[in-house]
A and B are shown apart, each in its own frame.
Chain A
Amino acid sequence: MNWTGAARTVVVCAILIVLQYTLRPLLAWRASIDFLIVALLLGAVRMRPGWAAVYGFLLGLVSDSLMVNGFGAAALAMSLVGFSASWLKAVFFADNLALNGFFLFLAKWVFDLIFLLVGHRAHGVELIMQILVWSPLSAAVTAVAGVIALSLLKPLMEVRTA
């Protein structure tokens, strides 16, 4: 990735991070869009897996610092998701929006799974409801929003084939 491509990626990721802290509280949906996951996947596929893990770790720390408890859970989950996304980038960045959407869905669900289990944020029936109902819904919404964001930002992003 050249410098121009890197700068564009940074700008797009910054936009997505800003959206996470402006649009998401405005919408305040029960199954909300996770723009950080979209930003993580968008950046991770352009890095080596190790650096993608570091990027995920930093994003996770930002996310953790604004939460009341469970500090470190988001960092761990995003590190693993970022590393996996970079590892599977060949599949992820195939020019197929449905496949991109599926991987966004999977990434968000895996993130929620790790985050909820490690951060001890829910227990019992509530945890099951969260994992089986609200997390998939949130993942679906995130996937849709991610696909829309990818389509809109395509001119800005460097086109990269597998």
Chain B
Amino acid sequence: MATAAGLGSRLDAGLLAGCVVLSIVAIALPSQAREPISSSLRRTIVAPLVGMQRSAEQWRTAWVSNEIRQAQADSLAMRAVKAQALIAENDQLRKIIGLGSRLQWGFVPAEALHSTAPSEEVVTTLTLSAGSSAGITRYSPVVAPEGLVGIIQSADPSMSIAILYTNPDFRASTMSADGTAFGIVYPHSSGGSGEDAYMLELRGVPTRATLKPGEMVYTSGLGGTFPRGIAIGTIVSQIKTPEVWTKTYLVRPAVTPSRLTTVLVLTAQRVTQGTGNIWGAMSNTDSATRHIVAAGDSITRMAAQLQARARAAALDSVRQATIDSLTRAGAIAPGGQAAPVVRDSSLLRPRVPAQTAPRAAVPRPDTAVVRRDTIRPDTTRTPRTLRP
């Protein structure tokens, strides 16, 4: 028993020693001798494992590259979103610069920080990044390129707080564009969402004055808080109220407070001296631009119609000319019926000279009556009897 155990131990030691010696020999072999051995192992016994490892690494590479692509797509989407925000901000800054150049003096530019609590759906106050040290005082009007934003409630040296037209405390004396109707605008609590959440009521308009939907209203300058002529909004509709002597209108404000990033605060001196017709001119320019674009569209449309008519007239003339020539040649009977078809065999027969009438004697069908398509529609006159 002990002999067998000893033999086993010696065998174990021998095998270990053999393995260790072979390993050391493999380590000590020069690379030229090692490479054929490992290469032959890779080609034979280890070949399936090499294949599996290659497949696994390919899967891994595909996975990683997919993740990279996904990350790139995400970053592109983020950039697109950021680009949209930048475009909007750029547009607003351009407008602010335009307003500043029109005002020329008496204003303080400020960044608008939205300070409304997240639970509130409607923005009612703004924190501005400029304060009394820049010339802002309490009740200074806050304006945007589109129109009136609100009024300064409190001014610290470096910052100020403005209440917007959505604030329940906000009032402004208002007039129509032609200055015939006056009233006071109040915030309108419609309970709507989105754009409809920001609406105004124009109260106290005399019954004799009528404001049409789409008409612009401006600050009247009465009371001295706001200078005359700042755009407030457009009339949407009349609101039915129990008042008899005055009317109330629903007004869509020109400014959307949630989109504001930069505003201008008018100084007291500017309020005293007025702003002129800056917003009225802006709205006129806008409407003129819209009209020009619309006119350009209609001109293009008319040109296309005229071109189509001219093409149809040309085709019609060609068709008529063909019919005339065939009529003259006798292929078509004068009554419009086609002459019998001449077969190829007729070519074999001797030709008889056709007896044709003098050209002037045959009236051309297309000259007998005036063709409708040759008359310009804009030159035709409406009969007097049809005129109103």
Contact = CB atoms under 8 A, between A and B. Distances in A.
Given A48-B8, A54-B15, A62-B49, A71 B56 contact: no
Contacts, number: 107
Interface in A43-96: 48-51, 53-54, 56-57, 60-62, 64-66, 69-73, 75-76, 79-80, 83
Nearest to B13: A50
Interface residues of B, number: 35
A80 B22 CA distance: 13
Query: Range of interface residues on chain A?
Result: 35 or more
Contacts of B52: 18, 21-22
Given A18-B52, A48-B8, A65-B41, A76 B24 contact: yes
A50 B20 contact: no
A74 to B, nearest CB: 9
Interface in B44-62: 45-46, 49-50, 52-53, 55-57, 59-60
B321 interface: no
Contact of B12 (A21, A49, A64, A72): A49
A60 B19 CA distance: 10
Contacts of B46: 62, 65-66
Contact of A50 (B16, B28, B50, B60): B16
Interface stretch (A4-12, A23-31, A153-161): A23-31
B41 A62 contact: yes
Contact of A75 (B22, B28, B60): B22
Interface of A: 17-18, 21-26, 28, 48-51, 53-54, 56-57, 60-62, 64-66, 69-73, 75-76, 79-80, 83, 118-119
9 contacts: A26-B56, A51-B15, A71-B37, A75-B23, A76-B24, A79-B20, A80-B16, A118-B27, A119-B27
Interface of B: 8, 11-16, 19-20, 22-29, 31, 34, 37-38, 41-42, 45-46, 49-50, 52-53, 55-57, 59-60, 63
